[in-house]
């Protein structure tokens, strides 16, 4: 059994599941002498509405797990810092699953799948299906490969999707993945960095739903997380090169289909 020393600022944190033994630890004074004193800590868990100074967490230099509650919306700064996010229905086995990906030396086997883990696995399969389909579109671009596309076209598509909600109930359309793919494509064309909090807004769905899709699309290899080199308190989400090329392939087909004849 692996022993994981987790500092938790979240009273609702239920620990990790089978294969992990979390060592309880109280929050230390990490500012003593300007150096962290929580030696040996493997990860830290904070609630999404935490009021602790973010710099104190950054000084620990360990993975940050942010737990999102059902009733308290997460603060953008924690979403943008998080190495992993726990959602309201994630159980201890899901925590162990996340730890296995964050920390070296995780358990070789994963605990028997709970309902939550099965749901996440289903989302991951759907994300992989999207990735495979996008790759196929990119490979079959053929005649449309020279059709010019730009960020203005993508932003127009996004605006049309939002205008759709003015005429039909928004709950009819459950496709946040496509909204996020379009937003990240436009941002890459504009050479603009997109933090996680902004991407969740672009999805136009509840934050927990958006975060589930960010998690699944990251696992499928479509999204890539990278830390801001100028500010360790913030991370950005971008499209993988393969996903970007696939989106360009689709956009060229779209532009070709609606080009003046």
In the predicted model, is pLDDT for residue 154 greater than 90?
yes
Give the span between the Cα atoms of 163 and 216, in whole angstroms.
27
pLDDT in tens, 197-223: 999 998 888 888 899 889 888 888 889
Mean pLDDT value of segment 137-142: 60
Summary mean pLDDT of the chain: 80
Strand partners, 47: 67
In the predicted model, is pLDDT for residue 141 greater than 80?
no
Topology of domain 115-257 in CATH is Arc Repressor Mutant, subunit A (1.10.10)
What does 128-186 look like in DSSP terms, one character per residue? HHHHHHHHHHHHT-GGGGG----HHHHHHHHHHHHHHTTTS-GGG---HHHHHHHHHHH
In the predicted model, is pLDDT for residue 108 greater than 50?
no
In the predicted model, is pLDDT for residue 136 greater than 80?
no
Query: How many H-runs (helices) and E-runs (strands) does the chain carry?
Result: 9, 7
Instruction: Provide the 8-state DSSP code for 19.
Output: T
Contact criterion met (CB below 8 Å) for 31 and 84:
no
How far from 155 is each of 3, 88, 160, 169, 231, CA to CA, in Å? 48, 32, 9, 21, 28
State the pLDDT at residue 98: 83
pTM of the model: 0.78
Identify the residue with better confidence: 11 or 125: 11
Q: N- to C-terminal Cα distance for the chain?
A: 67
**Domain residue spans in the chain?**
2-102, 115-257
Distance of CA 228 to the CA centre of its chain: 15
In the predicted model, is pLDDT for residue 101 greater than 60?
yes
Query: Pick from 9, 91, 48, 45: which is nearest to 200 by CA?
Result: 48
Identify the residue with better confidence: 247 or 138: 247
Give the span between the Cα atoms of 257 and 254, in whole angstroms.
5
Q: CATH homologous superfamily of domain 2-102? A: Response regulator (3.40.50.2300)
Q: Pull the structure tokens for residue 232.
A: 């360790």
Judged by average pLDDT, the poorest of 64-73, 80-89, 113-122, 165-174 is 113-122
pLDDT in tens, 163-183: 888 888 877 776 788 999 999
- Res. 109 pLDDT band, cuts 50 70 90: very low
What does 187-208 look like in DSSP terms, one character per residue? HHHHT---BHHHHHHHHTS-HH
State the pLDDT at residue 223: 93
State the pLDDT at residue 26: 55
Identify the residue with better confidence: 229 or 24: 229
């Amino acid at each position: 059994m692996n022993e994981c020393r987790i500092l938790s600022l979240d009273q609702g944190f239920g620990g990790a599941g089978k294969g992990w033994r979390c060592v309880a630890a109280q929050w230390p004074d990490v500012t003593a002498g300007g150096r962290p004193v929580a030696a040996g800590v493997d990860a830290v868990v904070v609630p999404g509405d935490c009021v602790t100074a973010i710099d104190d967490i950054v000084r620990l230099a360990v993975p940050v797990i942010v737990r999102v509650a059902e009733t308290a919306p997460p603060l953008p700064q924690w979403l943008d810092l998080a190495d992993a996010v726990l959602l309201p229905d994630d159980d201890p086995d899901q925590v162990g699953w996340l730890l296995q990906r964050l920390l070296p030396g995780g358990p070789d086997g994963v605990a028997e799948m709970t309902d939550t883990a099965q749901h996440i696995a289903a989302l991951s399969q759907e994300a992989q299906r999207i990735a495979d389909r996008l790759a196929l579109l990119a490979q079959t671009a053929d005649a449309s490969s020279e059709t010019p596309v730009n960020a203005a076209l993508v932003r127009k598509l996004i605006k049309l999707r939002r205008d759709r909600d003015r005429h039909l109930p928004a709950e009819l359309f459950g496709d946040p993945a496509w909204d996020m793919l379009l937003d990240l494509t436009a941002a890459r064309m504009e050479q603009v960095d997109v933090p996680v909090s902004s991407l969740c807004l672009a999805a136009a769905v509840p934050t927990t739903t958006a975060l589930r899709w960010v998690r699944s699309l990251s696992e499928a290899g479509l999204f890539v997380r990278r830390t801001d080199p100028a500010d360790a308190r913030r991370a950005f989400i971008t499209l993988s090169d393969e996903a970007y090329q696939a989106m360009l392939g689709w956009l060229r087909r779209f532009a070709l289909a609606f080009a003046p004849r």
